Amino acid sequence: QVRLVESGGGSVQAGGSLKLSCEVSGSTDIDNCMGWFRQAPGKEREGVAYVGWNNSPKVAASVKGRFTISRDNAKNTLYLEMNNVQVEDTAMYYCAADPRRLLLGAKCAELSEYAHWGQGTQVTVSS
């Protein structure tokens, strides 16, 4: 059974940095589509960043230039480095994985659903 466990969330002041991690177990397909999503109270879930099997990234326009997605296949871990965070980045952050093996992060961003989800890690940004 595939299991995703996020960590690294917390409280940070605007302009600060956080690095989220997502450790994957129960699957050897770490190089399939993976992504970070977030959901703020009262808002719909939105995709933040994605990575394809060749580690090609795709990040949402709202975080481009501030957030970086990366993956360490040897450690079965997905990362989201968040720099210059803003109050509007406050949300529960989830990592997700899907068995579809797509080359580009941009293609992974087009998937309407992901098969496996973590429990989430809270990020709170204060002004």
How far, CA to CA in Å, does 126 sit from each of 6, 56, 64, 87, 91? 21, 32, 20, 6, 12
52-72: average pLDDT:
94
pLDDT of 28: 62
Categorize the per-residue pLDDT at 127 as very low, low, confident or very high, splitting at 50, 70 and 90. very high
Residue 29 has pLDDT above 80, yes or no: no
Q: What is the pLDDT of residues 82-121, one digit of tens each?
A: 999 999 999 999 999 998 888 899 999 999 899 999 999 9
Categorize the per-residue pLDDT at 19 as very low, low, confident or very high, splitting at 50, 70 and 90. very high
